[in-house]
């Protein structure tokens, strides 16, 4: 019995970083208009660029290691076997 293809860990990392990137980037944008109190260097808007970095990393990993790309393609002989069997 052939084992099911295992989605690589990098894809999960991509998903969570994408979600985190969206949330942190969004919170950073919100902070532009409602600056957080008592946070040092809030004028640097770290949330925006750190969120953007997470987003880029997340999307890169999600796309590069998406299940449809990492799953092994059926070997040609498998196809011929199927045909002959049928």
Q: Which two tokens stand for residue 35?
A: 């600056």
Question: Taking CB under 8 A as the rule, which mask of x and - marks residues 14-53 in contact with other proteins?
Answer: -xxx-xx--xx-xxx-xx----xxxxxxx-x-xx--xx--
Q: Which two tokens stand for residue 74?
A: 């059926």
Which of 50, 62, 49, 48 shows the shortest CA–CA distance to 18? 62
* Residue where the block lists tokens 């942190």: 24
Taking the least distance from each CB to other proteins, the nearer of 44 and 71 is 44
Give residues in contact with other proteins (CB under 8 A): 3-4, 6-7, 9, 12-13, 15-17, 19-20, 23-24, 26-28, 30-31, 36-42, 44, 46-47, 50-51, 54
């Amino acid at each position: 019995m052939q084992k099911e293809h295992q989605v690589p860990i990098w894809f999960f990392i991509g998903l969570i970083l994408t979600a985190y990137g969206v949330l942190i980037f969004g919170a950073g944008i919100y902070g532009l208009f409602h600056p957080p109190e008592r946070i040092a260097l809030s004028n640097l808007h770290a949330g925006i660029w750190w969120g953007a970095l997470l987003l880029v990393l997340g999307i890169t990993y999600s796309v590069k290691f998406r299940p449809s790309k990492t799953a092994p393609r059926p070997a040609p002989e498998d196809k011929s076997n199927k045909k002959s069997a049928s």
